[in-house]
């Protein structure tokens, strides 16, 4: 009140007033003063290390927050054109100051607690807050938006902010003074772009030091003549924004060098071809503009890889690693010291060649092979599935055949035998005088039934699905059968026998064929000696039955008989041999000569699968 200037001075940062050429300490016990503001109504607002004080006429008081909490150190004050006073605190909070109350507004991002060092207000009430290591904050319509290096603002300490009334903000930082259009700042804050153009002023532009003063406000101001004043750690500077022009020409850009794995590549002399196997690509470029000097800024992009421009700022190199094989075009543009961009820039095109396995034809071939392999695998899996189903059906069919065969055998042999026993028993009951004879016949029938049941059980018992089980049984049967007939039996069987599996149907049909052959020998051959031989081959075996009888009648000379065409007087039994062998995938050959006997050869394919009974026996022995 009364004019002059207000000062924060002395060791306690006390309040002083300059008037009438003298500096006097004000008789108000306020200490730790960081900033001072006189609003349009003449009230003095004071930011201190413990809150905010106000002096209006004869009234002086300290302000509290609307939630009765303590106020941190306040370093920045600003008044909007509408007359609203705002304060920025060390904990990142903005306070709207009323004569009797403070209302707090706090950002909520990761940098929310960074101190507010400077404030500026737009005509529409938007606040711009410069922070310490938190970039630039915009507070508009109750929403905070932070602009940092991610949006192209390369400074994070902003200690001074001035509006030049030409749509630009001037930012005093620790790296010089930046001039940025508010339209560009708003575009970034609204998310319409992520690039920010600016002009930077440094030592070559007259700054005595790059670091602008901070910690106390005001540290910058706009004079009545439009000049902007900034304080640095080495003195005060000013700039007249009305005299700024952008008449300088854009900076010419030159790509100086391309290094591939540290080795230079000629940029002239034809298309650049880079063989496969190289990992690092370094581009070096510069701007041919002496006025821009170190302030020249660059953007680059690699067409074929980058989707947008990469902000390089003042760096003059770009590096890429492990580029996929294709054709690329490296482009770079530059901005001079006044923010004028050379949108044409410079470019270089090159091709990275592929390894053979990166070529299109190899990928197509590999794709065909993979698809073919998958198709083959799917087809094979489906085939295996169908084969398993077919095997299961075949197994079920074999079981049905076995059941039908067993039922037939029981009906034919056991049923007929039991019927005979029943009749003989009835005869013995009616005719007591013939009881002895009938009991003998009943005994014979019972023995035959027992033998028939033994054959049926043997045929279906999986314990005998082996060569040993087969030939032990048929050799014992042949020897017993021929001994009763008075015919000598000779055996010629290899030892040891194979461990291949012989299924029940094969055993049964082979046994019936042997049985029928032995019956024919006993009934018709008039032989005195029979030989049983077994010939083992890689994929089959042959059972040979040979006698020294009279041979088959009607056969002249020894030869192989055609059972379908040769007329034999011995009945149809020999024809049945071929049918039985054909039922199990085998065949039968008969050789005969009048007066010199007959030889029957029964050949069957071997199943090389090891018998499960043999395998179990081996496991038991191994244990």
Query: In this structure, what CATH number is given to the domain that contains residue 132?
Result: 2.130.10.10
Q: Minimal CA–CA distance to 284: which of 318, 328, 330, 253?
A: 318
pLDDT at 30 (0 to 100): 87
Q: In whole angstroms, give the CA distance from residue 205 to residue 164.
A: 18
CATH number of the domain that residue 533 is part of: 3.30.565.10
| 569-590 mean pLDDT | 76
Q: Is residue 621 part of a domain?
A: no
Ramachandran angles phi, psi of 621, nearest 5°: -65, -35
Q: Are 546 and 482 in contact (CB under 8 A)?
A: no
The three-class DSSP label of residue 81 is: coil
CATH number of the domain that residue 280 is part of: 2.60.40.10
Q: In whole angstroms, give the CA distance from residue 449 to residue 428.
A: 19
pLDDT at 260 (0 to 100): 95
Handedness of CA 479, 480, 481, 487 (dihedral sign): positive
Q: Indicate if 42 and 189 belong to the same structural domain.
A: yes
Q: Is residue 151 part of a domain?
A: yes
Q: Indicate if 289 and 226 belong to the same structural domain.
A: no
Count other C-beta atoms under 10 Å from residue 149's C-beta.
13
Longest dimension (CA), the chain: 172
Instruction: For residue 526, give the DSSP letter.
Output: -
Q: Indicate if 108 and 177 belong to the same structural domain.
A: yes
Averaged pLDDT score across all residues of the chain: 85
Q: Is residue 622 part of a domain?
A: no
Residue span of the structural domain in which 347 resides: 252-358
Q: In whole angstroms, give the CA distance from residue 68 to residue 500.
A: 99
Domain count, the chain: 4
pLDDT at 464 (0 to 100): 74
Could you tell me the pLDDT band of residue 615, with boundaries at 50, 70 and 90? very low
| 562 pLDDT more than 80 | no
Q: Using N-to-C axis directions, what is the helix angle for 504-520 and 435-460, rounded to 10°? A: 140
Query: Given 409, 429, 460, which residue is the final one in a domain?
Result: 460
Q: Indicate if 497 and 597 belong to the same structural domain.
A: yes
Q: Is residue 52 part of a domain?
A: yes
Q: Indicate if 441 and 471 belong to the same structural domain.
A: no
Q: Are 338 and 246 in contact (CB under 8 A)?
A: yes
Query: Given 330, 358, 386, which residue is the final one in a domain?
Result: 358
Buried b (16+ CB within 10 A) or exposed e, 390-409: eeeeeeeeeeeebeebbeeb
Give residue-wise pLDDT tens across range 326-347.
999 999 999 887 778 889 999 9
pLDDT at 71 (0 to 100): 82
Q: Indicate if 11 and 142 belong to the same structural domain.
A: yes
The residue ranking higher by pLDDT, 245 or 76, is: 76
Q: In whole angstroms, give the CA distance from residue 329 to residue 341.
A: 20
Q: Indicate if 304 and 405 belong to the same structural domain.
A: no
Q: Indicate if 256 and 227 belong to the same structural domain.
A: no
Q: Indicate if 290 and 402 belong to the same structural domain.
A: no
Q: Indicate if 540 and 608 belong to the same structural domain.
A: yes
Query: Given 460, 490, 516, which residue is the final one in a domain?
Result: 460
Q: In whole angstroms, give the CA distance from residue 47 to residue 13.
A: 11
The three-class DSSP label of residue 174 is: strand
Q: Is residue 623 part of a domain?
A: no
Q: Indicate if 224 and 158 belong to the same structural domain.
A: yes
Give residue-wise pLDDT tens across range 424-453.
777 777 777 777 777 777 777 777 777 777
pLDDT at 560 (0 to 100): 60
The residue ranking higher by pLDDT, 1 or 603, is: 603
Q: Indicate if 517 and 380 belong to the same structural domain.
A: no
């Amino acid at each position: 009140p009364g004019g002059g200037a207000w000062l924060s001075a002395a060791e306690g940062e006390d309040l002083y007033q300059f008037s009438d050429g003298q500096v006097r300490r004000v008789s108000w016990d306020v200490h730790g003063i960081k900033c001072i503001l006189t609003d349009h109504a003449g009230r003095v607002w004071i930011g201190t290390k413990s809150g905010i004080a106000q002096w209006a006429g004869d009234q002086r008081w300290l302000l509290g927050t609307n939630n009765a909490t303590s106020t941190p150190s306040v370093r920045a004050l600003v008044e909007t054109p509408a007359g609203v006073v705002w304060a920025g605190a060390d904990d990142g909070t903005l306070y709207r100051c009323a004569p009797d109350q403070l209302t707090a507004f706090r950002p909520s991002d990761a940098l929310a607690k960074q101190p507010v060092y400077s404030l500026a207000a737009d005509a529409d009430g938007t606040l711009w807050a410069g922070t310490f290591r938190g970039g630039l904050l915009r507070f508009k319509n109750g929403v905070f938006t932070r602009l940092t290096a991610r949006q192209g603002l390369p400074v994070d300490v902003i200690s001074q902010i001035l509006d030049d009334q030409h749509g630009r903000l001037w930012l005093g930082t620790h790296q010089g003074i930046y001039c940025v259009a508010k339209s560009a700042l708003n575009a970034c804050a609204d998310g319409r772009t992520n690039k920010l153009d600016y002009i930077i002023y440094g030592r070559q532009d007259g700054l005595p030091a790059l670091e602008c003063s901070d910690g106390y406000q005001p540290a910058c101001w706009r004079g009545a003549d439009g000049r902007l004043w900034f304080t640095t750690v080495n003195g005060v500077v000013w700039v007249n924004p009305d005299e700024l022009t952008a008449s300088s020409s854009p900076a010419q850009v030159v790509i100086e060098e391309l290094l591939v794995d540290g080795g230079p590549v000629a940029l002239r002399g034809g298309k650049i071809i880079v063989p496969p196997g190289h990992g690092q690509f370094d581009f070096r470029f510069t701007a041919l503009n002496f006025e821009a000097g170190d302030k020249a800024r660059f953007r680059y992009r690699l067409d074929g890889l980058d989707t947008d421009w990469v902000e390089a700022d003042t760096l003059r190199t770009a590096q890429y690693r492990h580029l996929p094989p294709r054709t690329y075009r490296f482009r770079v543009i530059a901005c001079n010291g006044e923010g004028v961009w050379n949108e044409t820039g410079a470019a270089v095109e090159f091709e990275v060649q592929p390894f053979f396995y990166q070529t299109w034809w190899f990928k197509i071939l590999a794709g065909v092979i993979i698809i073919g392999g998958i198709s083959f695998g799917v087809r094979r899996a489906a085939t295996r599935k169908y084969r398993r189903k077919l095997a299961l059906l075949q197994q079920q069919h074999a079981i049905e055949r076995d059941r039908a065969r067993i039922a037939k055998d029981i009906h034919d042999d056991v049923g007929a035998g039991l019927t005979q026993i029943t009749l003989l028993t009835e005869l013995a009951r009616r005719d007591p005088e013939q009881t002895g004879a009938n009991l003998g016949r009943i005994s014979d029938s019972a023995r035959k039934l027992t033998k028939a049941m033994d054959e049926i059980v043997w045929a279906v018992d999986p314990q005998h699905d082996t060569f040993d089980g087969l030939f032990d049984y048929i050799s014992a049967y042949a020897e017993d059968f021929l001994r009763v007939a008075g015919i000598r039996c000779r055996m010629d069987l290899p030892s040891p026998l194979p461990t291949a599996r012989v299924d029940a149907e094969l055993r049964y049909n082979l046994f019936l064929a042997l049985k029928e052959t032995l019956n024919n020998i006993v009934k018709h051959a008039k032989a005195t000696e029979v030989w049983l031989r077994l010939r083992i081959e890689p994929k089959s075996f042959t059972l040979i039955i040979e006698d020294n009888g009279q041979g088959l009648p009607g056969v002249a000379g020894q030869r192989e008989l055609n059972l379908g065409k040769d007329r034999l007087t011995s009945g149809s039994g020999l024809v049945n041999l071929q049918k039985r062998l054909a039922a199990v995938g085998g065949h039968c050959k008969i050789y005969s000569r009048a007066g010199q006997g007959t030889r029957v050869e029964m050949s069957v394919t071997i199943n090389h699968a090891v018998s499960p009974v043999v395998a179990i026996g081996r496991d038991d022995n191994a244990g």
